[in-house]
Amino acid sequence: MKNLLTILEERISEALRKAGGPAEAAALVSPSKNPAFGDYQANGVMAAAKQLKTNPRQLAEQVVRLLQINDLCETVEIAGPGFINLRLKPSLLEQRLLGMFTDPVRLGMEPAEKPKTIVVDYSGPNIAKEMHVGHLRSTIIGDWIARVHDFEGHRVIRQNHIGDWGTQFGMLTAYLKAEYLHVLDNPSSAAIADLEVFYQNAKQRSEQDPEFEKTARAEVVKLHNHDPETIRLWQHIVEQSRRHYQPIYALLNITLKREDERGESFYAAMLPEVVKELRQKGLAVDSEGAVCVFPKGFVGKDGAPLPFIIQKSDGAYLYATTDLAALRFRIAHLGADKIVYVTDARQTLHFQMLFETARAAGWTDSRVELVHVTFGTMLGPDGRPFKTREGGTVKLKDLLEEAVEKARAVVEEKNPSLPAEQKAAIARAVGIGAVKYADYANNRDTDYVFSFDKMLAMDGNTAPYMQYAYARIRSIERKAAGKEVDVERELAGIERVVLSDAAEIELAKKLISYEQAIESAAASYRPNLLTAYLYDLSQSFSRFYNACPVLGAPADVRPSRLLLCELTARVIRHGMQDLLGIETPEQM
């Protein structure tokens, strides 16, 4: 089925143009904020009338006369200076509900007519350092964006831009050689149990021992020259790091795989070429010993042009150089129509300058969309960046394990009779889901206070509430067996949907607006629009369930109400599990 909002916009825009509106006139249709005035409202007439210097209400009247929309709406009314209010026909609701029901995979939603190749750059852990809470938002927001674009029908290329190259690796390989001499013939036998300790010890040794620091610098040269032994040790360090972060991805239900990794090392050989090309194009110049690009429009507080440094005076390259090489590669070799970067807001200036440099170099133009999706900071109860009680960085692994442990206590309290294995599975789903959902439900631009008590609450817009809402609907099927109601048979034979009660109509309208919720969230890269929709849907279902008996309903009504239950469960499961990556247990 074609998106209902798109159909309404197309038809009203066409009528607006026929009424004498500008060629580029748009209907600007949006869901009505007050159901008393209808289901949708078109606001584009006022802007068109202003451009034409005519009376907006008279233009709206002409639009309504020309509007071919009887198959969709039962009433079309003009309000105020020229708003057009639309109320959907019950027959349209029934048609759309059946379309969703007969398409359990896509729920009646059509994939993109013109699929794009979209590269999503997210997570990006540093090698030889364990992931901490600062990695959470990039990882889960980026994964949600990739999942949504996947569902929309685009070709999504995930890129995990890991930090696996640079001067620090000379220090790390030197330390590995110094401390693990007995395993140099077989580095894989040297498991680095605690990456943080390994990294800190290597750094401390480098700072305190001049001879070791000299050796570390020599190791950097060997690494850049691809010395076989140094490369072998470097690969071992990368693999040890991978053994730390891949289980975290699995715990978070993140879709990043090893083949999605394209770290800084991949682009290392391209960096001299990037600098050379930017020099040849007159964009890169020498400045105070470094090589810099001065993108147009970027100035400091003193009014002087801001430098985008791509090579230091000692010849070393920077993040900017690697990011330029990655951007160029993604367009030229991966065929990206869009590149989405997911990082915290502190990197805004970097990406603005990166994008402008790429445009100036001619690597991209208006046909390629470059997007920087930013987010705020996770805060502790004191309103400051989240830290341990000792003031240290919180490891992401520890945070997630604590979430599961706290969820286990909730499960024990709510349903102690469940088998131990089922309790463990539910605790994992609830604990991890609570952490992810709490992040998604906040506006990504804002900081938010991390609170286990709030995110594990069984009421309000939380993962446990949504998971319980899903499990509650699924319990209807189990209850049906005891009442000798064959749900599968009744749904299989359904040919039309009967909607008579106001609560049924409200739920039906909320269900068919799922596609609009997905599109709004995807277009703005805001998962909180999706979580808000899912929460509203669960609220609508509660009102329906309290007002309308399902299993005890008359035989001519029961199949329709069972269908509303089934579709609500499917939408919640799809939104939570397929798009947000949060498990939905069948029983809580």
Convert the pLDDT of each residue in 374-408 to its tens digit.
Answer: 999 999 988 888 887 777 789 999 999 999 999 99
Region of 80 on the Ramachandran plot (φ > 0 left; ψ -120 to 50 alpha; else beta): left
Q: 512-558 pLDDT, tens per residue?
A: 999 999 999 999 999 999 999 999 999 999 999 999 999 999 999 99
Q: What is the CA radius of gyration of the chain?
A: 28
Helices 228-252 and 210-224 cross at an angle (nearest 10°) of 90
Residues 213 and 330 in one domain: no
Residue 195 and residue 251 in one domain = yes
Say yes or no: 232 and 359 in one domain: no
- For residues 327 and 562, give the distance between their C-alpha atoms in angstroms, rounded to a whole number: 50
Place of tokens 């990655």: 326
> Does one domain contain both 242 and 273?
no
Residue by residue, DSSP assigns 180-215 as -GGGTT-GGG---S-HHHHHHHHHHHHHH-HHHHHH
Q: Is residue 261 part of a domain?
A: no
Same domain for 340 and 276?
yes
First-to-last C-alpha distance (Å) of the chain: 34
Helix (H, G, I), strand (E, B) or coil at 221: helix
Q: Is 391 a domain residue?
A: no
Distance CA 518, CA 532 (A): 11
- Of 216, 235, 255, which closes a domain? 255
Domain boundary among the residues 373, 406, 426 is at 373
Instruction: Give per-residue pLDDT as tens, 501-510.
Output: 999 999 999 9
What is the C-alpha separation between 397 and 68, in angstroms, rounded?
Answer: 57
Q: What are phi and psi of 88, to 5 degrees?
A: -75, 150
Q: What percent of the chain has a predicted confidence (pLDDT) above 70?
A: 98
Q: Residues 135-143: what's their mean pLDDT?
A: 97
- Would you say residue 563 lies in a domain? yes
The pLDDT score that the predictor gives to residue 178 is 87
For residues 470 and 331, give the distance between their C-alpha atoms in angstroms, rounded to a whole number: 42
pLDDT category of residue 135 using cuts at 50, 70 and 90: very high
SS3 at position 152: helix
State the CATH number of the domain containing residue 569: 1.10.730.10
Q: Is 186 in the same domain as 52? A: no
The chain-wide mean pLDDT, for the chain, equals 94
pLDDT tens-digit map of 165-214: 988 999 999 998 888 766 566 666 666 767 788 889 999 999 999 999 99
With respect to residue 150, please indicate whether it lies within any of the assigned structural domains.
Answer: yes
DSSP 20-67: T--TT----EEE-SSGGG-SEEE-HHHHHHHHHTS-HHHHHHHHHHH-
Q: State the pLDDT at residue 414.
A: 85
pLDDT digits (tens, 9 = 90+) for 309-353: 999 998 889 999 999 999 999 999 999 999 999 999 999 999 999
- Judge whether residue 446 has pLDDT over 80: yes
In a domain, 552, yes or no: yes
State residue 485's pLDDT score: 86
Same domain, 570 and 467: yes
CATH at residue 34: 3.30.1360.70
Q: Say which residue the tokens 């997570």 belong to.
A: 123
Residue in 153, 131, 152, 129 with CA at minimum distance from that of residue 140: 131
Nearest to 560 by CA among 509, 511, 495: 495
Q: What is the pLDDT of residue 2?
A: 86
Q: Does residue 214 sit within a domain?
A: yes
Q: Return phi, psi of residue 540, to 5°.
A: -60, -40
Total count of domains within the chain:
5
Query: How far apart (Å, rounded) are the C-alpha atoms in residues 298 and 300?
Result: 7
The residue segments making up the domain with residue 19 are 4-88
Same domain (yes/no): 272, 141: yes
Instruction: Encode pLDDT of 483-494 as tens digits.
Output: 888 899 999 989
Tally of residues, the chain: 588
Q: Which of 222, 255, 288 is the last residue of a domain?
A: 255
The band of 455, judged by pLDDT with boundaries at 50, 70 and 90, is very high
* 385 in a structural domain: no
Is 495's pLDDT higher than 70?
Answer: yes
Are 448 and 471 in the same domain? Answer: no
Residue 482 has what pLDDT? 79
Tokens (6 digits) for 504: 């049924």
Do 146 and 294 fall within a single domain?
Answer: yes
pLDDT bucket at 428, cuts 50 / 70 / 90: very high
Do residues 11 and 144 both lie within one domain?
A: no
Asked if residue 477 and residue 345 are part of one domain, the reply reads: no
pLDDT score recorded for residue 587? 87
For residue 471, is it within any domain? yes
Element spanning 119, H or E: strand 117-121
pLDDT of residue 184: 62
Rounded to the nearest 10°, the torsion over CA 254, 258, 260, 261 is 110
Alpha helices (H) along 442-579: 452-455, 463-482, 487-492, 502-512, 514-524, 527-547, 558-573
User: Is pTM, for the whole model, over 0.75?
Assistant: yes
User: What is the pLDDT at residue 171?
Assistant: 93
DSSP for 275-334 reads: HHHHHHTT-EEEETTEEEE--TT-B-TTSPBPPEEEE-TTS-B-HHHHHHHHHHHHHHTS
Average pLDDT over residues 239-260: 95
